[in-house]
Amino acid sequence: MKILVCITHVPDTTAKISFTDNNTKFNKAGVQYIIGPYDDYALARAVELKEAQGRNRDGS
């Protein structure tokens, strides 16, 4: 089984957010990015499904 999980990276909730060009553009400098929380859950669930499929195939 092949599983595809689409993920996004979002600014960390503790990151200091600022804007440039008269407050019209997001300033990415110094911003830490993380995998979105729901995407992180989806990725973990995909790994669980893949591991479960491997166990079932081995007969364990």
Asked whether residue 33 is domain-assigned, the answer is: yes
pLDDT digit string, tens, across residues 10-47? 999 898 989 999 999 999 998 999 999 999 999 999 99
Q: What is the dihedral of CA 13, 18, 24, 28, to 10 degrees?
A: -70
**Would residue 2 count as lying in a domain?**
no
What's the mean pLDDT in 44-58?
85
Count: domains in the chain: 1
Q: What phi and psi, each to the nearest 5 degrees, are found at residue 26?
A: -70, 130
SS3 11: strand
Q: Is residue 19 part of a domain?
A: yes
Range of the domain at 48: 9-58
Place of tokens 């996004």: 8
pLDDT > 90? residue 54: no
Q: Which residue has the higher pLDDT, 56 or 10?
A: 10
